[in-house]
Amino acid sequence: MKTKEELLKKYEGTEFYDCINVHYGSKESFQDYDGGLLNFDENAMKDIVGAEKLTYPDFIDIQIQTGKNYRGGFMLCYYYCPMGFKGEVEKFGKGRICFSRIFIDGMYPDGVWFVDKEEHVWMSIKGFEDLKVGDCVSFFAEPYRYIKTGDGKKHDFGLRKPTQIKKIEKYDLPTDDDLLMQNINQIICESCYLNEQCSRMNCIRNQRELKELRKSMMKFLKDKK
């Protein structure tokens, strides 16, 4: 795809048409209601592995086609502050290693910590050569963006250049309920009526009230699923 007109023609009649028409060539970026990412800044293409031959319209098109099908945990690490990772080795490929799951530990700019997980993650074998299937390791790595091929081109996030690699004992990943509760706590904290008086170190809200609020929000979100 070479021109704005070709891109607009492809998305004519969709919710993306006006967005492309208004923001094409700008530095705006969005996360839509369904979780998809759409960055119009052409400079954002420069650090994407595999995007060297993409045109600007291709870059926009690939993001739309990707939608919410990207590794959200690694996305948070790319845009914010990764603090470390833990992985369990699943298998090996030619020059590559696959972790059955990776636990993510990170921090938002305001100092609030977050945890997440990704499953079936492939990385370069470099640095992990001494591991075997079933081993667990802690490590640090650089989050990066790349163009994933296979089932069409997609925009995704991964890890590379691992350092501080250390074997550890088996570990437990947070459950889906644990991760959901993390999101609930973040929502409560950001919308709290005591927000301006709070140091974000020790919660000053009534703990019994918080417990009931968390319980009701958890039920609502799980029923909604």
* pLDDT higher at 11 or 151: 11
Q: So what's the pLDDT on residue 208?
A: 86
Q: Of 47, 66, 85, which one is at a domain's C-terminal end? A: 66
Please give the radius of gyration of the chain, using alpha carbons only, rounded to the nearest integer: 20
Burial 134-164 (b: 16+ CB within 10 A, else e): ebbbbbebebbbbbbeeeebbbbbbbeebee
Q: State which residues form the domain around 60.
A: 4-66
Report the pLDDT value the prediction gives residue 123, as an integer from 0 to 100: 97
Residue 174 pLDDT: 67
The CA distances from residue 211 to 186, 208, 217, in Å, are 14, 5, 10
How many structural domains are present in the chain? 3
Please indicate, yes or no, whether residues 19 and 95 belong to a single structural domain of this protein: no
Same domain, 10 and 56: yes
Instruction: State percent of the chain over pLDDT 70.
Output: 95
The tens digit of pLDDT for each residue in 23-77 reads 999 999 988 767 789 999 999 998 999 998 899 999 999 999 999 999 999 999 9
- Residue 201: pLDDT band (50, 70, 90) is low
Question: How many residues appear in the chain?
Answer: 225
> Does one domain contain both 53 and 117?
no
Q: In the predicted model, is pLDDT for residue 145 greater than 90?
A: yes
| End position of a domain, from candidates 122, 139, 168 | 168
Whether residue 46 sits in one domain with residue 17: yes
Query: Do 78 and 141 lie in a common domain?
Result: yes
Residues 6+ apart with CB under 8 A from 122: 93, 96, 97, 98, 158
Asked if 152 and 85 sit in the same domain, the reply is yes
Where does a domain end: 126, 151, 168?
Answer: 168
Q: How far is CA 149 from CA 41, 112, 153, 154, in A?
A: 22, 34, 5, 6
Q: Indicate the pTM of the whole model.
A: 0.77
